């Protein structure tokens, strides 16, 4: 394990150069041309370090970015098989680099998408290359690259579920949570609530109109009341719009709602609460659309066992990695729902996902590259 740490340290400059070059490939989720160029760059980069895959396929994402699935065989006498998940899209619009270029200040490297999650792919690529160069056994590796994670993975979900099926472990190189690996994530529901009323003159004929906004206000109160933070359930009405003019009784209103749950029982309770919602006044209507975007990722026994392997590797490398449960979701949720062991947060150490202060630690890149190299080798059959 000390040899892996030394090799990762020797790759420090390359890690910095690579994540800089990757961040300079802008890949907003809503720009198909930029996503296509970004995926071309990523595939070229990965193959430069790992060689051409034994097999590959690209799935058309339609209105979202395409999905690439790349396979390398087991190496150096390794056994087993793993899947690695990395999304290449970011929340940052095209042109962000113009006023926020990649910048290095001591141990901090900032730039759009470096934390979420471009550093993760760079670390995973170097980890595999380092372990291979050290002659360590590696399992068969399947790398899944998708360009729609930041907008719900609607196109990539079935591809991910098919790609991870039957794998011994799934490693997700999303950013860490203050350095901790993520062994549990909440499930996410994205819903829209639409209320309909009867328009009328608010001053001349206030009793004949039925306000969709009044109905929505009551619905918002009911939605927020369904939250149970003690059970890990949050409900947030994030946007709300309705009506046409101040002197017109509103005929329509719509709200978008984010729901996070920690277990299936809470998911069922929220479903029942939504199904029970009714309009308050005669003549009003209420409709709920949407659904559960990502299933719950529980801390299962198989995931706990996988984390124990990672923790042992970190101890052998001179430190101890921690684990955490988080409210955010990732593509790892899909794999966990299939009963597979999933270890998330193997990517960058830093902070500021989706924020202008997004940054990563260069020391953290080196440390986590060594950790990933050791973990992947251990999954391929390397001894302690």
Three-class secondary structure assignment of 66-118: CEEEEEECCECCCCCEEEEEEECCECCCCCHHHCCCCEEECCEEECCCHHHHH
Tokens standing for residue 113: 């998408």
**Per-residue pLDDT at 250:** 98
Residues 133 and 226 in one domain: no
| Extended beta strands in 147-269, E state | 169-172, 181-185, 187-196, 234-242, 252-261
d(CA 168, CA 24): 34
Closest CA to 73 of 139, 135, 16, 5: 139
List Cβ neighbours of 230 (8 Å cut-off, separation of 6 or more).
none
301 φ/ψ angles, rounded to the nearest 5 degrees? -60, -40
Residue 122 belongs to a domain: yes
283 with 340, same domain: the answer is no
Residue 133 forms part of a structural domain: yes
**Number of compact structural domains in the chain:** 2
Q: Give per-residue pLDDT as tens, 143-152.
A: 999 999 999 9
Dump pLDDT digits (tens) for 3-26. Answer: 999 999 999 999 999 999 999 999
For residue 285, the enclosing domain spans 187-293
Same domain, 170 and 250: no
Residues 142 and 27 in one domain: yes
Residues lower than pLDDT 70 in the chain: 1
255 is a domain residue: yes
Same domain, yes or no: 152 and 241 = no
Is 43 contained in some domain?
A: yes
Q: Is 107 a catalytic residue?
A: no
Which residue in 26, 89, 174, 215 is the catalytic one? 89
Residue 384 within any structural domain of the chain? no
Active-site choice (18, 26, 148, 149)? 149
13 catalytic? Reply is no
**In the prediction, which pLDDT does 1 show?**
66
pTM for the model stands at 0.93
Residue at token pair 């369904």: 226
- DSSP 8-state code for residue 54: S
42, 161: one domain = yes
């Amino acid at each position: 394990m000390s040899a892996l740490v030394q090799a990762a340290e020797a790759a420090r400059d390359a890690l910095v150069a690579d994540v800089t070059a990757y961040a300079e490939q802008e890949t907003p989720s809503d720009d198909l041309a930029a996503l296509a160029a970004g995926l071309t760059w990523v595939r070229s980069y990965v193959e430069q370090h790992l060689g051409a895959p034994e097999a590959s396929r690209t799935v058309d994402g339609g209105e979202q970015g395409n999905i690439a699935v790349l396979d390398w065989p087991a190496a150096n006498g390794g056994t087993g098989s793993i899947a690695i998940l990395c999304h290449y899209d970011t929340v940052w619009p095209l042109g962000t680099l113009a006023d926020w270029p990649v910048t290095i200040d001591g141990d901090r490297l900032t730039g759009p998408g470096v934390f979420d999650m471009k550093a993760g792919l760079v670390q995973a690529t170097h980890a595999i290359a380092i372990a291979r160069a050290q002659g360590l056994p590696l399992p068969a590796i399947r790398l899944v690259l998708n360009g729609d994670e930041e907008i719900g993975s609607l196109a990539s979900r079935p591809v991910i579920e098919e790609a991870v099926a039957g794998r011994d472990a799934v490693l997700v190189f999303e950013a860490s949570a203050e350095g901790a690996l993520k062994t549990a994530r909440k499930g996410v529901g994205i819903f829209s609530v639409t209320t309909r009323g009867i328009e009328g003159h608010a001053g001349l004929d206030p009793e004949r109109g039925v306000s969709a906004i009044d109905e929505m206000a009551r619905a918002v109160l009911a939605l927020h009341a369904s939250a149970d933070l003690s059970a890990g359930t949050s409900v947030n009405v994030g946007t709300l719009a309705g009506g046409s003019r101040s002197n017109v009784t509103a005929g329509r209103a719509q709200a978008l709602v984010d729901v996070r749950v920690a277990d299936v029982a809470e998911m069922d309770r929220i479903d029942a609460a939504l199904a029970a919602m009714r309009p308050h006044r005669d003549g009003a209507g209420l409709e709920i659309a949407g659904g559960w975007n990502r299933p719950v990722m529980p801390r299962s026994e198989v995931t706990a066992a996988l984390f124990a392997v990672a923790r042992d590797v970190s101890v052998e490398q001179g430190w101890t990695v921690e684990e955490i449960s988080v409210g955010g979701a990732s593509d790892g949720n899909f794999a966990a729902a299939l009963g597979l062991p999933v270890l998330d947060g193997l990517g960058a150490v830093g902070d500021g996902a989706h924020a202008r202060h997004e940054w990563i630690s260069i020391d953290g890149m080196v440390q986590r590259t060594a950790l990933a190299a050791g973990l992947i080798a251990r999954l391929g059959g390397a001894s302690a």
